[in-house]
Amino acid sequence: MNDWIRVCTVGEIPAQGARVLRQAGEVDIAVFRTAADEVFALRDRCPHKGGPLSQGLVHGKTVTCPLHNWTIELDTGNARAPDIGCAGHLPVRVEAGDVYVRLGRRHG
């Protein structure tokens, strides 16, 4: 299945920040941009109690959840030890400054 979709430009996501991608009837997707301009996508639900990861503080390749400070790795969706859990990440591609996310397949 080829379901890559264009989301926005890299510039439309704040560096060290995130935007929320909303689809009717689906869980929101958080699209992150790191300080080094890498882009990642996670389901916008913290594995702890469902906090919106898009609202967290981004540092390195991780985001700290705004509700109770779990730290989630952006490239895998895994919570950092000692916490255990996975938010689920989606493949992301950046081409000519445009961000594409592959919605069909979810890892984790």
Partner 1 sequence: MGRKKLVMVGNGMAGVRTLEELLKLAPDAYDITVFGAEPWGNYNRILLSPVLSGEQAFDDIILNDPAWYAENGITLHLNARVTEIDRARRVVRTEGGLEAPYDRLLLATGSNAFVLPVPGKDLAGVVAYRDYHDVCTMLDAAASHRHAVVIGGGLLGLEAANGLAARGMQVTVVHLAPWLMERQLDAQAGGLLRAALEARGIAFALSAQTSALLGDETGRVRALRLDNGTEIAADLVVMAAGIRPNTELAEQAGLYCHRGVTVDDTLQTFDPRIYAVGECASHRGVAYGLVAPLFEQAKVAANHLAGHGIGRYLGSVTSTKLKVTGIDLFSAGDFMGGEGTEAITLSDPIGGVYKKLVIRGERLVGACLYGDTADGAWYFRLIREGKPVHEIRDALVFGESALGDVGHGGENRAASLPDSAEICGCNGVCKGTIVAAIRDKGLFTVDAIKQHTKAASSCGSCTALVEQVLINTVGGAADVTPKGEKPVCGCTALNHAQLRQAIRDRHLTSIPEAMRVLEWRAPDGCASCRPALNYYLISTWPGEAKDDAQARLINERAHANIQKDGTYSVVPRMWGGVTTADELRRIADAADKYQVPLVKVTGGQRIDLLGVKKEDLPAIWQDLAMPSGHAYGKSLRTVKTCVGSAFCRFGTQDSTAMGIALEKDLFGMWSPAKVKLAVSGCPRNCAESGIKDVGVIAVDSGWEIYVGGNGGIKTEVAQFLCKVATSDEVLEVTGAFLQLYREEAFYLERTVHYLTRVGLDHVKARVLDDGEARAALYARLKFALGFESDPWQAQIADANKRRQFETLAV
**Contact with partner 1 (CB under 8 A): which of 42, 56, 79, 92?**
56
d(CA 82, CA 100): 32
Contact 8, 31 (CB under 8 A): yes
Give residue 89's region: left, alpha or beta (phi > 0; psi -120 to 50): beta
Buried b / exposed e along 31-46 (16+ C-beta atoms within 10 A) = bbbbeeeebbbbbbbb
Q: From the CB of 1, what's the least distance to ligand FES, in Å?
A: 31
Torsion of CA 31, 35, 36, 40, to 10 degrees: -10
Q: Hey, which residues between 65 and 84 contact partner 1 (CB under 8 A)?
A: 66-69, 71, 82-83
What track of x and - describes contact with partner 1 for positions 13 through 52 (by CB under 8 A)? -xxxx-xxxxx----x--x--xxx------------xxxx
> Does residue 64 belong to the site contacting partner 1 (CB under 8 A)?
yes
Applying CB under 8 A, what is the total number of residues that bind partner 1? 37
Instruction: Please give the residue ranges that form the binding site for partner 1 (CB under 8 A).
Output: 5, 7-8, 12, 14-17, 19-23, 28, 31, 34-36, 49-52, 55-60, 64, 66-69, 71, 82-83, 103
